[in-house]
Amino acid sequence: MADVEQNAAVPDGSSNGSDAVNGTAGRFVSSAEGTALAYGSLLLMALLPIFFGALRSVGCSKSKNASDMPETITSRDAARFPIIASCTLFGLYLFFKIFSQEYINLLLSMYFFVLGILALSHTMSPFMCRVFPAQLPNKQYQLLFTQGSGESKEEIVNYEFDTKDLICLGISSVVGVWYVLKKHWIANNLFGLAFALNGVELLHLNTVSTGCILLGGLFVYDVFWVFGTNVMVTVAKSFEAPIKLVFPQDLLEKGLGASNFAIQLFINTRTYFYTSFLAYIFGLGLTIFVMHTFKHAQPALLYLVPACVGFPVLLALFKGELTEMFR
**What is the number of other CB atoms lying within 10 angstroms of the CB of residue 88?**
11
CA distance 160 to 141: 6
**Catalytic pick from 3, 162, 165, 222?**
222
Pick from 193, 65, 211, 48: nearest CA to 119: 193
Instruction: Give the bridge partners for 6, in sequence order.
Output: 262
DSSP conformational letter for 228: I
Give every CB contact of residue 23 below 8 A, 6+ residues apart in sequence: 5, 7, 9, 237, 246, 260, 261, 263
Distances (CA, A) of 6 to 76, 98, 284: 35, 27, 14
Q: Is 3 a catalytic residue?
A: no
CA distance 1 to 215: 11
Longest dimension (CA), the chain: 70
Q: Is 165 a catalytic residue?
A: no
CA distance 250 to 258: 6
Pick from 162, 172, 174, 159: nearest CA to 136: 162
CB 299 within 8 A of CB 222: yes
CB 117 within 8 A of CB 172: yes
Say if strands 203-205 and 71-73 run parallel, antiparallel, or are unpaired.
parallel
Active site residues: 222, 250
